[in-house]
Copies of this chain bind each other. A is one copy, B any other.
Amino acid sequence: MSTVRVPDAVPTPNQDSEALRKAFQGWGTDEKAIIRVLGQRNAFQRRKIREAYHQLYNELLVDRLFSELSGDFRTAVILWTLDPAERDAKLANEALTKKKRKIVDQLKPIIEIACATSPQHLMSVRKFYCILFNSSLEEAVSCTVSPPLRKLLMGLVSSYRYEGETVDGDVSKSDATLLHNAMKKKKLDDENLVWILTTRSFFQLRATFEFYKQNYGNPIDKDIKKCSSSDLSSILQMAVCCIDTPEKHFAEVVRASIVGLGTDEASLTRAIVSRAEIDMMKVRGEYFNANKSSLDNAVIGDTSGDYKDFLMTLLGAKI
């Protein structure tokens, strides 16, 4: 599922730290060496490198990367180097504090963290959020997001869903009926719809969506779209997609980030950095199916320099 290419013989964390230190020293920075080391290590290995680097040189690796690098390359390398839960806490905070023209675009990272990562990961993100920002994630959401989006968003970020794969067919059936009733009333802030989406396990919800489609004719996100073109409708469609087929959501994030003039580097970086170790293989397949062109070529065409090399390394390119 991961596209990250970890070499067969991995240097020790101390050796990797020394290689990074060497890349930082002297005239200029050796960006290629940084890509070679960090771009080819998994989350556990990167944590060990952060710890070893700190112990060896008494400085934080992330701080040093910040002072050595710049631009989109710096952002990508730092997001990748951070603990994944700390990274997502920072992405969530940025989303909640940096206004965007469209609230739906602004809240995208929050929906992704709440609906397309594991319950355990979301719990860790919330812990990091409290430590880093002296506020709970749900508190920040409630202060930033107004009704009618607030209830749904707060429910999504506060959930700690059951992780087991057991699915109850009767529950899927009755939940699908409740969801369909909400659709019939065109009531997207329906109480049942919100508690079902915010508390049921991901496996249970996928079964419910499947039952819904088979019994009521349409996939539920299509019915949500038909109800209204409000922000709430867009957010609900996004949440359903992230729960049901996260690879579709992220393939679309990549596509939207490169389409037209200019590139939305923040979104491109977020999608690749956050999914490289989870389901980037599937995202790549989904991208191809949807666009009849390769995600890798799209990235190559829209980026350049060290930034391009780094993203391509995360996508498994040989360096």
What residues make up the interface of A, taking CB atoms closer than 8 Å to B?
A: 119, 123, 126-127, 130, 134-139, 142, 147, 150-151, 154-155, 158-164, 166, 191, 195, 198-201
Contact = CB atoms under 8 A, between A and B. Distances in A.
Contacts of A127: 160
A199 B142 contact: yes
A160 B159 CA distance: 10
Contacts of A123: 123, 160
A221 B9 CA distance: 64
A195 B143 CA distance: 9
B159 A199 contact: no
A199 B119 CA distance: 19
Contact of A191 (B130, B147, B162): B147
A199 B160 contact: no
A101 to B, nearest CB: 25
Lowest 8 CB-CB distances: which A-B pairs, in order?
A: A158-B158, A139-B199, A142-B195, A126-B160, A138-B199, A136-B162, A130-B162, A142-B199
Contact of A150 (B135, B158, B166, B191): B191
